Amino acid sequence: MKKLVIIGASGHGKVVADIAVKNGYDEIVFLDDNEDIKECGGYPVVGKSNDAEYMDADIIVGIGNAKIRKRIQESVDEDKIIKLIHPKAVIASDVVIGTGTVVMAGVVINPGTNVGKGCILNTCSSVDHDCKVGDYVHIAVGSHLCGTVTVEDETWIGAGAIISNNIMVCRTCMVGAGAVVVKDIEVSGTYIGVPARKVNINNYSDIECVYI
């Protein structure tokens, strides 16, 4: 038996469970701090996130919000945390991927790239050659990092966004869906549009308030 505990019973957790099955896990349970959620993707919710430390199983955090994902992953015994890679992801042989990271279907990661821990590389996103993706980064559905891009810790690259080659995006940024980033982003904040520009934080949710 190969047992996995997924912390976070959400739509994202459901996708994580599907990837786990494809990686040979035959017993899957969820933990979630919302007592009203009883199941996710057909798998039972058996307790709260704090229960993870008592469970004899591999663990992964399936929560979209970077700060919560980081807090929970760092509260769990690191030896139990796994990474999950969908069998239909295409990953160059020298790519380094940290623990707790989930790589979804259709993702392409090209040579020379490092991906940190606790990241989400979401469906059909791509990370080209020689990129550095920090910890707890989310590269959302269909977004693309061109070659030699750096994305620092806890930044969320929104769905369909493009980061042009040789660009750096600093930590704790929100790059909005469909944005095209053509200049380094050195100040944390929310960036939208083509080319991407910083928007007034008072008019937009910051990353801590945005959930998937």
Ligand X SMILES: CC(C)(COP(=O)(O)OP(=O)(O)OC[C@H]1O[C@@H](n2cnc3c(N)ncnc32)[C@H](O)[C@@H]1OP(=O)(O)O)[C@@H](O)C(=O)NCCC(=O)NCCS
The residue (of 131 and 157) whose beta carbon lies closer to ligand X is 157
Q: Is the peptide bond before 111 cis (omega within 30 degrees of 0)?
A: no
Residue 157 and residue 176: Cα distance in Å, rounded?
7
Cβ-proximal residue to ligand X, closest one: 176
Find the shortest distance in angstroms from Cβ 114 to ligand X: 22
DSSP string, 73-93: HHHS-GGGB--EE-TT-EE-T
The residue (of 93 and 202) whose beta carbon lies closer to ligand X is 202
CA-based angle 17:70:136, to the nearest 5? 80
Q: Please give the span between the terminal C-alpha atoms of the chain, in angstroms, as a whole number.
A: 31
Find the shortest distance in angstroms from Cβ 159 to ligand X: 4
Find the shortest distance in angstroms from Cβ 178 to ligand X: 5
The two three-digit tokens of residue 127, written as one number: 């990370």
The residue (of 12 and 47) whose beta carbon lies closer to ligand X is 12
The residue (of 40 and 159) whose beta carbon lies closer to ligand X is 159
Chain contacts with ligand X (rule: CB under 6 A): 122, 140-141, 158-159, 174, 176-178, 190, 192-193, 204-205, 210, 212
Q: Which of 144, 147, 163, 83 is nearest to 116 (CA)?
A: 83
The residue (of 184 and 208) whose beta carbon lies closer to ligand X is 208
Find the shortest distance in angstroms from Cβ 69 to ligand X: 14
Backbone angles phi, psi at 67, to 5 degrees: -65, -40
Find the shortest distance in angstroms from Cβ 174 to ligand X: 5
* Residue written as token pair 């919000």: 65
Find the shortest distance in angstroms from Cβ 149 to ligand X: 17
Q: Let me know: does 175 contact 163? Beta carbons within 8 Å.
A: yes
The residue (of 89 and 140) whose beta carbon lies closer to ligand X is 140
